[in-house]
Structure 1
Amino acid sequence: MVISGVGVDLTRTSVSWCKIRNWSLATLSLISFSCSCLATINQFFMTSQSASIRRLSSIKWAPRILLIMIFVWCCHGIPFLLFYDISPLTGTCISTNSAFAVYFPSIYILILDCTIPVSVMIVFGYLAYRNIRSTRALAEQQADRQFTRMILIETVLVTISNVQYGINGAYTVITAGMSKDANRLQIENFVATLSNLGCYLYFSGSCYAFLLSSSRFRKAAKKLLFFWQNTNQIHP
């Protein structure tokens, strides 16, 4: 917002912010995608008819898995702190390591930011939905109807935000060595801006979409947000 609205780009003047910003973008996005993937996998475990698979969904393991996942992605972001710097030639924040410049953004965007999370959420979301459809108790509670809407919305958000972002990233990598005129560069910059904005749709839209699609999610969210209104009552 500061860069686009005010025109002040601190990544051109502050080496620390140049490093921290790119580390944050890479690390926090992967943590968010991983949490969504783990939640989808956990839904598959919880709705399975197999007792051994249901036992894999354990609340005591959730904090441990979460801490391990955060640690892994924080370590994954260390090269961003080491290799990103302000170029003395262009004055922009870029990677000073040629090998890491190949990994980010091409491999990072296409595999970690697009292919893996989209595939995991679609596959395990479908498997969880199939489990619900085959379980009479959950179907009688109309859990399948609300769950179907939530999974469909999640899949649509992931598809719209990540797939187009991955396609634009692939196009950028493929055409990196081509000579382009000023008009084509302006068009590509415009498309890249739209792609970046579309990528934010997943991070900002999931919660609101769930609130609109599921009454149970709304009740749970209201109970958590307005926890001070939850009063205990003594019944005879």
Structure 2
Amino acid sequence: MSSNDPYIRQIQLSIQYIALTFGFPILILGIIGNILNIIVFLHKASYKHNASSFYMLVKSFFDLNVLVISLAGDIIIDGFHANALTSENWCKFRVPLAYINSLCSSSCLCLQAIDSYMCSSRNATIRQYSTIKKARYLIVGFLFVWICNECPYYFMKSANIIPNLTCQTSNTIYRTYRSYFTILVLNIIVPITIISLFGYLTYKNMHTLNTDGQYRLSTLTKQTIRMALYETIIVLLFKCPFGIAQIYLVSTANIVKDVYRQTKEQFITLFFYFYVYNANAVPFFCYFAASKSFRKQVIDTIKRIRFNQRTNLIFPLGEIVGATWQEHWFEHNQLLTRVYYGDDLALYYDDDVARSTVPYISKYLSDAWRYVKRNYGSFGPDERLYAIFHTGRYSGGHPSYYYSASHDFKNVIDQGAGPWFEQLGSMDIPTHEIFHIVEMASFNTQGSPGFW
């Protein structure tokens, strides 16, 4: 049957229409959403030390790559019939790269579901398996595995099927392996099974915790679990129909079909290919809908990000205090100098504190504050600890909290009189003051009746 047949021509025009009108909105919204995810997760210090949020961050990178490499290519090929993008060299570059990113994204989704289950478990041993260090190793490991899985494609001779304009290998065995194992099993069946199972187990854990109240999750953990569960539901909504369509195509691959059936199946296949890209495009909107805290962070990030021309870095306004800080509380009246600044700590000295102590103090307090945030939740909108050290004045120490104007709405520990690290136990006072911040401001809770 000629492709000039009006019915077939109409379906082909419908295919082109879907690619342009359905593909472009997914591409644009997906790129914007994933970029916002990356910015928020990178700028919020507490997210960098939580395994679930780390998986979300890395998944956003892979999802962005999938949309730019794979979806944009499909729009150009199917929407504009660009034959150049189905050349052998281009196919060998685009197809493996697209599947590496897609498989890595699915791996992050599965690891995220498993981590949510571990974090919500009442068993302390299971919870201990959720660490940022293990998460990094797992991401690198899966990336290596999927690169190895896709490497054979570079050595296979590609065949350009016209007019379908698809990239395929001429090696029948490898093509069958990709159709059944890589696409159907690894990219569809395994992710759907894992996120369904662990999503259900996580939901049961959360229900149990809400019922008995014996173990309390941190605010950050509850937030990431809720975000992960929302994403699981939405991803299943997009992956399951695509999986059913793929099972049908694989099971009928050896059946002789007339041109009408082939054209109809091409239309259905293309529709579900674009439909499943939503799974890579919508995570940001899932997180935004699931978490009030995430919504606030997104809005604050959009409003407060500015470009710092001196360092060519992007910083949120209001979170970076100046290089100096004038004390204006109690009898304190020193002009402090910032000697260290990181994701977890801003360290200030007066003129008499030895600068040689900066490496030790900054490491000790950064480690301590990360531990506190990991176990005792959020401490206001600014996640940093502001530590002030004096030598030769202001004996003892005191804390201040993010909800207090006395110290410019920062979580502060202020201590003297030193000298620091010249005697055993010199970190006792700073540690003691951190305990007070935990008591008075953990889980964004203001005040404690037990404070003395």
User: Do Structure 1 and Structure 2 share a fold, with TM-score over 0.5?
Assistant: yes
Does the 8 Å CA contact 2:120/2:206 hold for their aligned counterparts? Answer: yes
- Going from structure 1 to structure 2, the CA distance change for 1:88 and 1:196 (only over 3 Å counts) comes to closer
Correspondence for 1:62? 135
Correspondence for 1:47? 120
Give identity over the alignment, percent: 27
CA offsets, 1:143-195, max 9 Å, x none? 879955751x3233222222222221121122122222222222111111111
Correspondence for 1:119? 193
Aligned-residue offset at 1:67: 1.0
Correspondence for 2:382? none
Residues of 1 paired with 2:227 and 2:93: CA distance? 37
TM-score, length-scaled by structure 1? 0.85
Q: Which amino acid aligns with 1:228?
A: P
Residues of 2 paired with 1:215 and 1:114: CA distance? 31
Asked if residue 196 in structure 1 is aligned to residue 273 in structure 2, the reply is yes
Could you tell me which of 310, 319, 326 is aligned with 1:231? 319
- Going from structure 1 to structure 2, the CA distance change for 1:230 and 1:19 (only over 3 Å counts) comes to farther
Asked if residue 9 in structure 1 is aligned to residue 86 in structure 2, the reply is no
Residues of 1 paired with 2:218 and 2:135: CA distance? 29
For these two proteins, the number of residue pairs brought into alignment is: 233
Residues of 2 paired with 1:199 and 1:231: CA distance? 39
- Which structure 2 residues correspond to residues 120-159 of structure 1 after superposition, within 5 A? 120-135=194-209, 136=213, 138=216, 147=225, 151=229, 153-159=230-236
Residues of 2 paired with 1:64 and 1:221: CA distance? 28
Aligned-residue offset at 1:87: 5.0
Indicate the structure with greater helix content.
1
Correspondence for 2:172? 98
Does the 8 Å CA contact 1:138/1:144 hold for their aligned counterparts? Answer: no
Does the 8 Å CA contact 1:43/1:128 hold for their aligned counterparts? Answer: yes
Q: Which amino acid aligns with 1:231?
A: E
Q: Which amino acid aligns with 2:316?
A: W
- What is the RMSD computed on CA atoms of the aligned residues? 2.9
Q: Which amino acid aligns with 1:172?
A: L
Asked if residue 167 in structure 1 is aligned to residue 240 in structure 2, the reply is no
SS of structure 2 residue aligned to 1:104 = helix
Which ranges of structure 2 fall in alignment gaps of 5 or more residues? 1-74, 306-314, 322-385, 387-406, 413-452
SS of structure 1 residue aligned to 2:277 = helix
Does the 8 Å CA contact 1:18/1:86 hold for their aligned counterparts? Answer: no
Based on CA coordinates, which of the two structures has the bigger radius of gyration? 2
Residues of 1 paired with 2:298 and 2:265: CA distance? 40
- Going from structure 1 to structure 2, the CA distance change for 1:79 and 1:158 (only over 3 Å counts) comes to same
Residues of 2 paired with 1:86 and 1:43: CA distance? 43
- Going from structure 1 to structure 2, the CA distance change for 1:167 and 1:154 (only over 3 Å counts) comes to same
Does the 8 Å CA contact 1:19/1:81 hold for their aligned counterparts? Answer: yes
Q: Which amino acid aligns with 2:111?
A: L
SS of structure 2 residue aligned to 1:60 = helix
Does the 8 Å CA contact 2:95/2:167 hold for their aligned counterparts? Answer: no
- Going from structure 1 to structure 2, the CA distance change for 1:140 and 1:35 (only over 3 Å counts) comes to closer
Q: Which amino acid aligns with 1:27?
A: I
Aligned-residue offset at 1:84: 4.6
Residues of 1 paired with 2:101 and 2:148: CA distance? 12
Residues of 1 paired with 2:200 and 2:276: CA distance? 23
- Going from structure 1 to structure 2, the CA distance change for 1:221 and 1:92 (only over 3 Å counts) comes to closer
Q: Which amino acid aligns with 1:77?
A: E
**Which structure carries more relative contact order (alpha carbon 8 Å, separation 6+)?**
1
SS of structure 1 residue aligned to 2:130 = coil
Does the 8 Å CA contact 1:36/1:121 hold for their aligned counterparts? Answer: yes
CA offsets, 1:28-76, max 9 Å, x none? 1000010111111111111211111111011222222211111111111
Does the 8 Å CA contact 2:227/2:290 hold for their aligned counterparts? Answer: yes
Instruction: Compare 207-216 and 25-34 and name the one that shifted more.
Output: 207-216
CA offsets, 1:9-41, max 9 Å, x none? 32433x221111110221110000101111111
Does the 8 Å CA contact 1:133/1:144 hold for their aligned counterparts? Answer: no
Aligned-residue offset at 1:200: 0.4
Aligned-residue offset at 1:133: 2.0
Q: Which amino acid aligns with 2:254?
A: G
Q: Which amino acid aligns with 2:263?
A: Q
SS of structure 2 residue aligned to 1:93 = strand
CA offsets, 1:190-235, max 9 Å, x none? 1111110111011001211221232122245456774422425662
Which ranges of structure 1 fall in alignment gaps of 5 or more residues? none
Q: Which amino acid aligns with 1:16?
A: N
Correspondence for 1:34? 107
Residues of 2 paired with 1:165 and 1:197: CA distance? 9
TM-score, length-scaled by structure 2? 0.47
